[in-house]
Amino acid sequence: MMSNQPRLVEVRQNVLKQNDLLARELRRRFQEADVCVVSLVSSPGSGKTAFLEKALTQLRPKFRVAALVGDLATENDAERLARSGAPVKQIVTGTICHLDAQMVENALAEWNLEELDLLFIENVGNLVCPSSYDLGEDLRLVLLSVAEGEDKPLKYPTIFNTADVAIITKIDLAEAVDFDSATAHRNIQSVRPGMKVFEVSAKTGAGMGELLQFLSARSAKPEKILAG
Ligand SMILES: Nc1nc2c(ncn2[C@@H]2O[C@H](COP(=O)(O)OP(=O)(O)OP(=O)(O)O)[C@@H](O)[C@H]2O)c(=O)[nH]1
Ligand SMILES: [Mg+2]
């Protein structure tokens, strides 16, 4: 009904505002504990968990790393990530298509942030809803796999606009799917001029070193930056 429309908009704005307040509080806690928080957003199956499996394993010798991972159902991703030996917690969202700051706060309740250097948060696979919800993170990574089509930044500009860094994943498959790297880069730059972009393969490890070096440097502990 038409008369319901303004009310719905108002409620939605209030929910978002409440999330922003909580995210601001989380960000303050993260800064106080000196933990660098990196979130990952992408469409389902772009390779967030595969990237994190490698990242947690490779960063762990030098950094105290941990991960939260959101999915509508199953603990599958937490089980995959826990094999790295890092502390991992699954957030099961049920019908909700994104993580919000309250879910992150609840998931962290039993963890001591002082004991962490880097916390990763894998969002629910979705190129739309997660863009509106600040989780208090320092850095938001948006992943785009070579098999999704070079036009995704143009079709889903908000998620690219609310992220800090883009990662083109599964580059080992680029040739098989006729991936046009120049067009993908041009499309990313057209929605988010100046955006930093990495190309990686979690399968072969290509590009992983450069990206992990970048993330290490963003951590609050400069003395631990991975060597070359
Ligand atoms: N060839 C290749 N396959 C990959 C790579 N990264 C991930 N995959 C495969 O892509 C599929 C999805 O990967 P996931 O890591 O589960 O993707 P995700 O983004 O975490 O998925 P959701 O959590 O469901 O949104 C799996 O079959 C992976 O093995 C890669 O670099 N190369
Ligand atoms: Mg996953």
What's the 46 CA to ligand 1 centre distance in angstroms? Answer: 5
Ligand 2 center from residue 8 Cα (angstroms): 31
Residues 6+ apart with CB under 8 A from 95: 72
Mean of the pLDDT values across residues 30-42?
A: 97
What is the whole-number distance in angstroms between the Cα of residue 2 and the centre of ligand 2?
A: 39
Question: Would the pLDDT of 228 be above 90?
Answer: no
Q: Which atom of ligand 1 is nearest to the CA of 53?
A: 15
Residue 49 has pLDDT above 60, yes or no: yes
Is pLDDT of 1 > 90?
no
Report the candidate in 144, 71, 61, 142 with the shortest Cα–Cα distance to residue 107: 71
CA distance 170 to 74: 24
70 lines ligand 1 (CB under 6 A): no
Q: Is 173 in the pocket of ligand 1 (CB under 6 A)?
A: yes
Instruction: List the 196-199 sheet strands across, edge first.
Output: 88-92, 65-71, 118-122, 36-41, 139-145, 165-169, 196-199
Residue 12, pLDDT above cutoff 80: no
Specify which residues 196 forms β-bridges with.
165
Q: Give the global pTM.
A: 0.93
* Residue 222 pLDDT exceeds 70: no
Q: What is the pLDDT of residue 135?
A: 98
Q: What is the pLDDT of residue 227?
A: 47
Minimal CA–CA distance to 130: which of 23, 56, 21?
23
Q: Which helix (H) or strand (E) holds 140?
A: strand 139-145
Using the predicted structure, report yes or no on whether residue 123 has a pLDDT greater than 80. Answer: yes
Higher pLDDT among residues 221 and 129, named by residue: 129
> Of the candidates 35, 91, 41, which has an alpha carbon nearest to the alpha carbon of residue 63?
35
With the most atoms of ligand 1 within 8 angstroms of its CB, the residue from 49, 122, 142 to mutate is 49
Q: What integer pLDDT is reported at residue 225 of this predicted model?
A: 52
Average pLDDT, the chain: 94
- Residue bearing tokens 């990763």: 120
Identity of the residue numbered 123: N
- Compute the C-alpha angle 78/195/133, nearest 5°: 45
Question: What pLDDT digit, counting tens, does each position of 168-207 carry?
Answer: 999 999 999 999 999 999 999 999 999 999 999 999 999 9
**Whole-number pLDDT of residue 14:** 78
State residue 81's pLDDT score. Answer: 98
pLDDT for the residue 175 = 98
- Of 82 and 7, which is predicted with more confidence? 82
pLDDT (mean) for 153-175:
98
